[in-house]
Amino acid sequence: MADPATYRPAPGSIPESPGVYRFRDPSGRVIYVGKAKSLRQRLNSYFADFASLHFRTQSMLTTAARVDWTVVGTEVEALQLEYSWIKEFDPHFNVKYRDDKSYPYLAVTMSDEFPRVQVMRGAKRKGTRYFGPYSHAWAIRETVDLLLRVFPVRTCSAGVFKRAGQIGRPCLLGYIDKCSAPCVGRVTPEQHRDLAEDFCDFMAGNTTRFIKRIEQEMREAAAVEEYERAARLRDDVQALQKALEKQAVVLGDATDADVVALAEDDLEAAIQVFYVRGGRIRGQRGWVVDKVEESTPGDLVEHFLIQMYSEAEIPREILVPANPPDLDAVVELLSEAKGARVQVRVPQRGDKKALMETVERNAKEALTQHKLRRSSDLTSRSKALQELAEGLDLDQAPLRVECYDVSHIQGTNVVASMVVFEDGLARKSEYRRFQIKSAEGDVASIHEVITRRFRRYLEERSATGELGGEPTGEPIDPETGRPRKFAYPPNLVVVDGGPAQAAAAQRALDELGIDDVAVCGLAKRLEEVWLPGDDQPVILPRTSEALYLLQRLRDEAHRFAITYHRAKRSRSLKESALDAVPGLGPARRQALLRHFGSVKRLGDATAAEICEVPGIGPATAEAIVAALKGESA
């Protein structure tokens, strides 16, 4: 493991120009490529304060043995060179977009003498038009089957095409008029290419002119009493309309845009893209990416745009959740590649904003499913518990783990949550929430909630009866037949925070005389695991199942705490609105809450219903309705 100070460039030797830098390992292999507006400022940030860096950046710096750089003239050149080097060297620590599955495209081989329509996966080929991607290959085949009625383009392989030409007889599709049979000379190469061009135009969104043209031909055929031809043209129109119905209309007919959204946690991000052509969703695609540094959404968007559109078709408009830091340079690079102006922007309102929210929900679901695939696997869960035991130096795998988090806004409405995982899975029936009484900071709140939880545990254990210091009864409530609320102790307590929070939790356990429960804190910024009394954190490997388990615990505790905090804050805001109602004192407020059960139900009540409460007159009831409605508005 190298010390970054040993290969730090000499002061003043790094230029202030824009450029691209490479970190190399002892064997000379490139392990990371980055760009910067100012090479000096960017590289100095790696060597200034090692402890404050993201732990993956720390890992990269200790793996590297030297750094070099190349100066360029503009930010656009830096973007181009950065991507070229990433493709050339495939650095281990760079962001890599991995498909969450393999997506097929509808492809038309326009470079062939007789263009062919087919399903394609993998790398793009020069001279081929691509449409999609689609979620499933069968969706492409259904669409193609409908369109071949109107655009009978060749779909057979080179071998079948050659064989049909040798024997002078077309395949089945040629006999049922779903292929123009260029193999046997029914159409010339020019006529067949025109069919392929029309097929591509239709798939690109220019649909209206084809449908109008066929409808006009249908009317002309009916006028001259060619009813069979008119019926066939009618069926062609219906086939085109059915193909269009398979693609949801979301924006205006002239809109060609890619809608990009992301969902992220501290270590990974899920990217989803919806492809809109001619106002219709033509397909979607997803990636899961490892985060190398503390990347902002704009940073992730910039990496994605450069990598994605270096080879893919670039639309006229790209909607993103956050603008890249070097927006002008990215737009210039994409516009140069497309040969026309490309717009990159964040939608603010209307249909495009609504579609962005839909794509974002898909990204969140993709990230959740990616993590669940690991958490639902028994082998992964067992490995996570074993790695956790080894990393924290526990005597045995922690089969029951409890995680605590505190939520508040500037010290008001302070609450805490307790979530429970048993055998690596959430046990939601055991979740608990606490209203903190001493609002003296997060450390004091952690001490309070741990004290209250384990004091209840001692009381429940005492209620089961003891003999020789050991419980003689089961921690089951004899009246309900269910486990007592706090009767089961965890093997491990995890608190959201660093060394101060971990020390507070350990102090609470020591004060209660509990010495058989392990404690650790998970610091969110660097994903460091802190043990009470230790000066240095435990760094779990980035790919370890144990780190995934701790992250899921922390995220679930945070979700549960903030949900309770928001509900409590909303309730307190409404109760404060009642304080402003003239003539409504504490006694009457209590009477209202007893009658309706909650402030929410009181807010939904009419003035006549409120008047049913003893002591509440019509004028006061109207004032209550006005106060609560005004608060909700």
Shared domain for 152 and 292, answered yes or no, is no
* Average pLDDT of span 552-560: 82
Q: Which of 339, 372, 405 is the last residue of a domain?
A: 372
Shared domain for 470 and 407, answered yes or no, is yes
What's the mean pLDDT when you consider all of the chain?
A: 78
Residue 170 lies in a domain: yes
Residue 109 lies in a domain: yes
pLDDT category of residue 101 using cuts at 50, 70 and 90: very low
Where is pLDDT greater, at 210 or 244?
210
Residue 408 lies in a domain: yes
H or E stretch covering 360: helix 350-375
Interstrand relation of 400-409 and 425-426 (parallel, antiparallel or unpaired): unpaired
Convert the pLDDT of each residue in 139-185 to its tens digit.
Answer: 667 777 777 877 888 888 888 888 888 888 888 888 888 898 889 88
Q: What pLDDT shows up at residue 431? A: 85
Residue 571 lies in a domain: no
Q: Would you say residue 487 has pLDDT above 70?
A: no
* Average pLDDT of span 241-249: 56
Residue 340 lies in a domain: yes
Residue 116 lies in a domain: yes
* Average pLDDT of span 10-19: 85
What's the token pair of residue 322?
A: 């956050």
- DSSP-based three-state secondary structure for 400: strand
Shared domain for 444 and 388, answered yes or no, is yes
Q: What pLDDT shows up at residue 55? A: 61
Shared domain for 193 and 219, answered yes or no, is no
CATH number at residue 293: 3.30.420.10
Residue 248 lies in a domain: no
Shared domain for 469 and 544, answered yes or no, is yes
- Cβ(486)–Cβ(402) below 8 Å: no
Shared domain for 594 and 556, answered yes or no, is no
Q: Would you say residue 571 has pLDDT above 70?
A: no
Helix axis angle, 499-511 to 442-463, nearest 10°:
30
Question: Which residues make Cβ contacts (< 8 Å) with residue 345, sequence separation at least 6?
Answer: 317, 318, 319, 320, 323
Q: Which of 531, 560, 589 is the last residue of a domain?
A: 560
Q: How far is CA 537 from the centre of its chain?
A: 29
Q: What pLDDT shows up at residue 36? A: 86
Convert the pLDDT of each residue in 379-405 to its tens digit.
Answer: 677 788 888 888 888 888 888 889 998
| Tally of domains in the chain | 6
Q: What pLDDT shows up at residue 403? A: 92
Where is pLDDT greater, at 314 or 376?
314
pLDDT category of residue 321 using cuts at 50, 70 and 90: very high
Q: What pLDDT shows up at residue 525? A: 57
Where is pLDDT greater, at 542 or 189?
189
Residue 573 lies in a domain: no
* Average pLDDT of span 64-86: 83
Shared domain for 416 and 515, answered yes or no, is yes
CATH number at residue 552: 3.30.420.340
Q: Residue 235 belongs to what domain range?
A: 209-242
Q: What pLDDT shows up at residue 118? A: 86
Q: 162 to each of 61, 183, 184, 189, 306, how far by Cα in Å?
A: 58, 7, 10, 15, 41
Stated pTM of the model: 0.46
| Complete DSSP assignment for 256-311 | -EEEEEEEE-SSEEEEEEEEEETTEEEEEEEEEEE--S---HHHHHHHHHHHHTTT
Pick the most confident of 299-313, 333-347, 592-606: 333-347
Shared domain for 434 and 548, answered yes or no, is yes
CATH number at residue 591: 1.10.150.20
Where is pLDDT greater, at 134 or 450?
450
Q: What pLDDT shows up at residue 506? A: 92
Q: Which of 252-261, 510-519, 579-588 has the least mean pLDDT? A: 579-588
Q: What pLDDT shows up at residue 21? A: 92
Q: Would you say residue 473 has pLDDT above 70?
A: no
Pick the most confident of 16-30, 94-108, 544-558, 577-591: 16-30
Q: Which of 560, 594, 614 is the last residue of a domain?
A: 560
Q: What percent of the chain has pLDDT over 90?
A: 3
Q: What pLDDT shows up at residue 319? A: 92
Where is pLDDT greater, at 494 or 279?
494
Shared domain for 167 and 55, answered yes or no, is no
Q: What pLDDT shows up at residue 430? A: 82
Q: Which of 16-30, 101-115, 447-461 has the least mean pLDDT? A: 101-115
Shared domain for 522 and 613, answered yes or no, is no
Q: Would you say residue 324 has pLDDT above 70?
A: yes
Query: Residue 54 pairs with which residues in a beta bridge?
Result: none
Q: What pLDDT shows up at residue 249? A: 47
Q: How far apart are CA 408 and CA 561, in angstroms?
A: 9
Shared domain for 541 and 421, answered yes or no, is yes
Shared domain for 228 and 348, answered yes or no, is no
